[in-house]
Amino acid sequence: MKKKFSHLINWILLIGSTFLVCTFLGIILWDIFSKGAPALSWDFITQYPTNGMTKGGILPAMVGTVLLTFITTLFAVPFGVSCAVYLNEYAKPSLLTNIIRASIRNLAGIPSIIYGLFGLALFVQGLHFGTSVLSAGLTLGLLSLPYIITTTEEALKRIPNSMREATLALGATQFETIKDVILPKALPGILTGVILTLSRAAGETAPILFTGVAFYINGVTTSVNQEFMALPYHLYMLSTQHSAIETVRPLAYATAVVLIILVFMLNTVAFIIRFKYRTQD
């Protein structure tokens, strides 16, 4: 009897906390969508901001964010995947590889504003890339690396050794084995990790603050050495830095909706890849 009662309490606590979390998520989404939806229109995503940003759209910010994420991908994915392949397939367990792994884990714990400062020192000033979408993309790339390395390594670890033995026993080199069997088989896992990491990076503000994001530029960023507008920074600016905060509030909410939808779309792609992978097995 007593046992049954404590079971019930446990169940209520667990269900209760799950509901609580979902409720908060629901409230946030409802709040943002209900306030942002009225300002959302085709013009909003295809026009430049006008009249001191109290009217018009967010096209440059969207283009900026997409371009930024693209540069981040170009930099972080090849390096991150190569690093994971080295750690999981080539490196023999040793003090050195343990140090490398520990460093990568620690990198993941560094606050993103520190990455911003580091990017400012290295890319903007040190390498003279200036405040540009290139500097910001590289900075976000650094931020993404530890996550990409870790998720890729996990994906590689899930490939059973019998797969490696199969091609090695046929006389394939280790490189051929990785290229022809291991990477293709790990690809869905790697892609999922990459996309989730990028969707996080796309919403970051702190690392791009000093490295290239602009309050307003007139025109779309078309070259990597230009400054750019980005959705998260645009949102921050509209909500706290604008002279007529009340007037632009609906635009801020609409920007948030666009950002959430973009991130949600990326996550959906990751979800579809994972689903296809699971049904294949």
Q: Which residues bind other proteins (CB under 8 A)?
A: 92-93, 160, 162-173, 176, 180-181, 184-185
Closest CA to 232 of 277, 200, 270: 200
Nearer to other proteins, 31 or 180 (CB): 180
Task: Please give the Cα distance from 258 to 59 (Å, whole number).
Answer: 11
Task: Please give the Cα distance from 214 to 229 (Å, whole number).
Answer: 5
Minimum distance of other proteins from residue 180's CB (angstroms):
7
Nearer to other proteins, 19 or 175 (CB): 175
Task: Please give the Cα distance from 277 to 281 (Å, whole number).
Answer: 7
Nearer to other proteins, 78 or 160 (CB): 160
Minimum distance of other proteins from residue 151's CB (angstroms):
20
Task: Please give the Cα distance from 197 to 249 (Å, whole number).
Answer: 29
Minimum distance of other proteins from residue 237's CB (angstroms):
48
Task: Please give the Cα distance from 188 to 86 (Å, whole number).
Answer: 19
Minimum distance of other proteins from residue 98's CB (angstroms):
14
The residue type of 51 is N
Nearer to other proteins, 103 or 173 (CB): 173
Minimum distance of other proteins from residue 95's CB (angstroms):
13
Nearer to other proteins, 97 or 112 (CB): 97
Q: Which 3 state secondary structure label does DSSP give 56?
A: strand
